[in-house]
A and B are shown apart, each in its own frame.
Chain A
Amino acid sequence: MNGKGQQALQTPPLRASSGIAKRMMQNWELYLFMLPAVVYFAVFHYAPMYGIQIAFKNFIPSKGIFGSEWVGFQHFERFFNSHYFWDLLWNTLSISFYELALGFPLPIILALAFNEIRNGYFKKSVQTITYAPHFISIVVMTGMIISFLSPSSGMLIRGLEALGIDAPQFLNDPAWFKTVYVISGVWQNTGWGTIIYLAALSAVDPQLHEAAIVDGASRFKRMLHINLPTIIPTITILLILNTGNILGVGYEKILLLQNSLNLKSSDVISTFVYRSGLVSAQYSFSTAVGLFNSVVNALMLITVNQIAKRTSATSLW
């Protein structure tokens, strides 16, 4: 491989390209291997990207995507000037940051705690059990939330009553929606989220610990100054990815938890796109809203990645 590359560098460009052609011919079956995936991405990812143009058009199904009439930024203006724009933006951002503030550090702390105890029956059981909720479907998870918080029979409501606390209407009170959404997500995903950090922690050099012990460093100090720095690159990458998704609050769970009473604080951009696009069939308008969402996400990702590049050695690209 190395020899071939050098050869290609030394020979004139014409010969080099024929070498590439030869190598392509040699492995022609590999292109066959790629074919299903390429077709899939072309049809279900790139074709929809072509369809984004309806955000700037008045899409009429009978005229098709190409044949519909251009209207410029009309749909975007309508969205930015609408009375719900700021509510949607605020809900989306606040749920994202709430989720990030609570859901991001907890797996790190749990992973550090797992790492402190030796491999044994206790560690294994805690891991198995805390990973398990990850496999509960969104529908079942929502069903659990609804029954646990049911004012007439909910387990959590009964629990609060037993403690003498007057339970609020968690699911109907807009003030509580975000907390319910975020806490249930934390319950479901914290355990699973530790895996990636535990993988990174397994790379800690034991010699560092031995040296630190000789110097009299306590367990806590070693965790803080040896284990934590080792996983900082992993933390940075995940933080970049999470911030890049700041307007990407998933609609699947919110859609199920939403009701007319909590809509004021539960309506986010993605659920709005679903409602106005698929329920009310305003294809062009909701595509514009969706496009606004993706563009902000892409910009956020690029910005955060750039900041990470400047301030630390770790970045996505």
Chain B
Amino acid sequence: MVKSMRESTSDKLFLAVNYIYLALALIVVLYPLIYIVSASISTPKFVNSGEMWLLPKGLTLDGYKLVFANPKIWNGYGNTLLYTVVGTLLNLAVTLPAAYALSRSDFVGRNFFMAMFLVTMFFNGGLIPLYLTVKNLGLINSMGALILPVAASVWNIIVARTFFHSTIPKELQEAAHMDGCTNLRLFFQIVLPLSAPIIAVMALFYGVSHWNSYFPALIYLNDEMKYPLQMVLRQILVLQEMSAETTGAAISGDIAQAMNNKAEIASLVKYAVIIVSTLPVVALYPFLQRYFVQGVMIGSVKG
């Protein structure tokens, strides 16, 4: 190869600096992640004093026991699962047909609809008018308030439209129409089966945003039993409401007794709960990374 032949000293130096830079970036990102995993299975005493700084010290699973014994976390987990599944299905039902219609060059009015959607990217009513709308629709304190106001995102519609536009050949559509196939059948029986990658990308983008969202729940829900996981996490991690009820210590009295103070229970629970709540996304992520990246790339073509 030409490249390797002409690799000069300055190039080698440049590459070395480059590798060092990337290695540093890796360490900076990775260290806190490893620290949390280690802290979640270490004795709090060592974590708080700084003796545990990389590998677990004084191995214990009490944090996880407390988390799993906590009905609030389970309840939040269940709610989040429900909101994520229903919300994502709704997102797909709204996004995919619209994106397909917009991708069709023989669709009269597509520029009008596209403009109607794009405007909302740059100008919106703001927090209070949206809140009043949701309130007037009678959605306060219901699942609807969490999923309906985010039923579609302009960005995702554009990504899906670009996908349909570039991967579904026009000839296919023309041939189908020639055979008397309706648009409805064309979409469900021909286009969708060919679009598995974009369905995956959309489901992932929408799914993660449902899983991670807390703000709609904060403003629209007032019944704690309906709280999604992120709201329970907010109580534990941010507001640090470390009552016996929140940490679950009331239930597992033996563990609570074993640990002599509330602060230790609190810190143990904190790290464990971070792991438990982030696990579904993190566990799926390495396998799905390709799709996430694909989604961003498709979007950037036309972005």
Show the binding face of A for B, using Cβ within 8 Å: 1, 20, 23-24, 26-27, 29-34, 36-38, 40-41, 43-52, 54, 65, 110, 113-114, 116-117, 122-123, 125-126, 128-133, 135-140, 142-144, 146-148, 152-153, 155, 158-159, 161-162, 187, 190-191, 195-196, 199-200, 210, 213-214, 216, 218-220, 234, 237, 244, 251-252, 255-256, 270, 273-274, 277-278, 283, 286-287, 290-291, 293-294, 297-298, 301
> What are 5 sample pairs from A and B whose C-beta atoms fall under 8 A apart?
A131-B289, A139-B233, A139-B234, A139-B238, A219-B15
How far is it, in angstroms, between the C-alpha of A37 and the C-alpha of B11 when the chains are bound? 53
Contacts of A51 in B (CB 8 A): 125, 128-130, 132-133
How far is it, in angstroms, between the C-alpha of A237 and the C-alpha of B128 when the chains are bound? 30
Contacts of B36 in A (CB 8 A): 144
Whether A41 contacts B21 in the complex (CB less than 8 A), given A51-B125, A252-B214, A298-B122, comes out as no
How far is it, in angstroms, between the C-alpha of A140 and the C-alpha of B126 when the chains are bound? 26
**Contact indicator B122/A135 (Cβ below 8 Å):** no
How far is it, in angstroms, between the C-alpha of A51 and the C-alpha of B130 when the chains are bound? 8
Residue of A nearest to B135 (CB): A61
**Contact indicator B11/A219 (Cβ below 8 Å):** yes
**Contact indicator B125/A45 (Cβ below 8 Å):** yes
19 further interface pairs, Cβ-Cβ under 8 Å (given A36-B93, A54-B129, A129-B33):
A33-B97, A33-B183, A40-B94, A48-B125, A135-B281, A137-B230, A138-B230, A139-B212, A140-B278, A142-B238, A144-B32, A147-B271, A155-B35, A218-B14, A256-B234, A277-B131, A278-B131, A286-B127, A298-B123
Asked if B187 is at the interface (CB within 8 A of a chain A CB), the reply is: yes
Chain B: interface size category = 35 or more
Q: Which of B18, B53, B214, B292 contacts A137 (CB 8 A)?
A: B214
Whether A195 contacts B296 in the complex (CB less than 8 A), given A44-B133, A45-B124, A132-B282, comes out as yes
Q: Which of B47, B100, B127, B148 contacts A277 (CB 8 A)?
A: B127
Contacts of B2 in A (CB 8 A): 210, 213-214
How far is it, in angstroms, between the C-alpha of A231 and the C-alpha of B240 when the chains are bound? 45
How far is it, in angstroms, between the C-alpha of A195 and the C-alpha of B94 when the chains are bound? 27
Whether A287 contacts B128 in the complex (CB less than 8 A), given A33-B98, A40-B94, A130-B26, comes out as yes
